[in-house]
Amino acid sequence: MATAFEKLWRLGPAAFVLKAIVVAVVADGLLLAFILLRRAYRKRYFRRRDTRVFELRQQWDDLISGKIPYESWRGNSFDRRIIESIALDAFEAAGAEESARLLHFLRSSGLIEKRIFEARRFTGWRRLRALVALGRTRAPEGIPALAEALRDPELEAELAALRGLGRTASPLAAQEILIWLAEKGLCVPVLPLQSALVQCCAERPRMLLPYVQSAEGPLREVLGRVLGEVATPALGLDLVPFAGDPLDELRAATARALSHSQSNLAFDVLSELARDPAWFVRLRAIVSLGKFSLPRMIPVLLSGLGDSNRLVRLRAAEALVTYPGALLPIFQKVVAIGDGYALHAYLTAIENADLLTKLETELQSSHHLAASEKTHLGAVLSSGSLAVEELSSVGASRAATRA
């Protein structure tokens, strides 16, 4: 039996090369013709569209006030698409008053109703477009249609619906998303979901709590992250139980959320979380403590400065430089820690905040420090290295021995 290679060999190129030439030349011709025809068509279309956009913009106020009857353009898909696109673009950049006017126009002209109909009736690409437009209107009446699209088998439609619901920033939309999550679990990429929930739950973060408590696995992490983002002082004590949660993400969310609650309990919990085994929990705790700006936070922040993770060290240092009145005492304590990485992080933060000159001046003019200590601190500050301090202390001890 002949091998595949032998068969190919016998076939020989000449058997089809002529046909292949014809096919390739025809393909070249077709591709060229397609490019040229498409260009010509698009040129004509855009010229027509630009002219019409210009005309409609000139009549814009009459159009949205209804002086020009909606029926006169609503039936014409070309005009309708242009008007809707202008209105939605304007809506995204509009202030409160203008938004209300545009929303009234979108409602009374029937554009929202039409998009709701399309979002419910159509499938695939056309449904996707309707969902995007509906989301851009931020109209509450669009929420049920968007929520229905969350059950679409296509991931892209689900995402468009999710984004649309997020745009409405309404607790009602949050409710729909949470119910859907309870039904289907985590079935979409995390970030669009988090983003939508953050927008929708900002007004009523408490609604998340029962879902966080009952959720499991990755969904619990996602909801925890959202909770951390939207938490308010009012929620402070409700979050404390989560500080002992086995899920790192939830403890991090608690640490983030407690930044809004300036209570003693919050401080105690955050101090505890600043020693958490997970680095990002410690990071969140340090960032939250940094927002308190109370002197009693300084020891915890100083311990954060000696953390094994450099992001934690950096954030602790950034928080410490927000105590401008205590610049020199804090610097003394940082040097006393004897950790080169802690010193480095602190000096980085000092320089980034442009406080180096101030610290130098404070050091020079300080009356509380002994001259030798001033020299040591000055040397550490100028060299940015503890080695100098160690060398100086070695030098001082040698001098003492000699004496």
Partner 1 sequence: MIRFLDFANHTLFWYYLASNLGYLTMLLVALKTSARHQRRLESHRLNWIAGTPLAPPITVVAPAHNEERSIRVAVRNLLELDYPALEIIVVNDGSADRTLEEMRAEFRLRAVRAVYVPELKSALVRGLYRSSVDSRLLVVDKEPGGSKADAVNAGLNAATSPYVCVVDADSVLERDALLRIMLPVLADPQRVVAVGGIIRVLNGSEISQGTLRRVRLPRKSIEVIQVIEYLRAFLIGREAWGQGNMLMIISGAFGLFRTDLVRVVGGYRPNAIGEDFDLVARLHRHLLDQKADYHIHFVPDPMCWTEVPSDLKSLGRQRARWQKGLLDVLLLTRGMLFRPRYGRIGSFALPYLWLFEFAAPVIEILGIVTIVLAAVLGVLSRTFFLQFLLFGYAFATVISIGAVLQEEITYKRYNDWQDVARLVSYCFFEHFPYRQMHMLWRLQGIWQYMCGDVAWRPLKRKGLQSATIP
The binding site for partner 1 (CB under 8 A) comprises 8-9, 12-14, 17-18, 20-21, 24-25, 27-28, 31-32, 34-35, 38-39, 92, 125, 128-129, 131-132, 136, 156, 159-160, 163, 167, 189-192, 194-195, 198, 229, 310-311, 313-314, 344-345, 347-348, 351-352, 354, 384
Q: Which of 78, 99, 79 is nearest to 88 (CA)?
A: 99
Residue 58 CB, nearest approach to partner 1 (Å):
26
Instruction: Kindly tell me which of 63 and 343 has the beta carbon lying closer to partner 1.
Output: 343
In whole angstroms, give the CA distance from residue 205 to residue 226: 9
Instruction: Kindly tell me which of 26 and 394 has the beta carbon lying closer to partner 1.
Output: 26
Contact (CB, 8 A) for 272 and 243: yes
In whole angstroms, give the CA distance from residue 237 to residue 209: 12
Instruction: Kindly tell me which of 328 and 345 has the beta carbon lying closer to partner 1.
Output: 345
**The residue count for the chain:** 403
**Tokens (6 digits) for 353:** 């905040």
Alpha-carbon distances, residue 307 vs 314, 316, 341 (angstroms): 9, 9, 9
Residue 40 CB, nearest approach to partner 1 (Å):
10
Contact (CB, 8 A) for 284 and 256: yes
In whole angstroms, give the CA distance from residue 76 to residue 403: 101
Instruction: Kindly tell me which of 3 and 401 has the beta carbon lying closer to partner 1.
Output: 3
Instruction: Kindly tell me which of 63 and 150 has the beta carbon lying closer to partner 1.
Output: 150
Instruction: Kindly tell me which of 163 and 284 has the beta carbon lying closer to partner 1.
Output: 163
In whole angstroms, give the CA distance from residue 302 to residue 245: 26
Sign of the CA dihedral with 362 first, then 363, 366, and 368 last: positive
Residue 272 CB, nearest approach to partner 1 (Å):
26
Residue 12 CB, nearest approach to partner 1 (Å):
8
Residue 294 CB, nearest approach to partner 1 (Å):
25
Residue 355 CB, nearest approach to partner 1 (Å):
12
Instruction: Kindly tell me which of 63 and 168 has the beta carbon lying closer to partner 1.
Output: 168
Residue 265 CB, nearest approach to partner 1 (Å):
26
Q: What is the DSSP string of 145-184?
A: HHHHHTT-SSHHHHHHHHHHHHHHT-HHHHHHHHHHHHHH
Alpha-carbon distances, residue 119 vs 83, 112, 150, 153, 251 (angstroms): 19, 10, 11, 14, 39
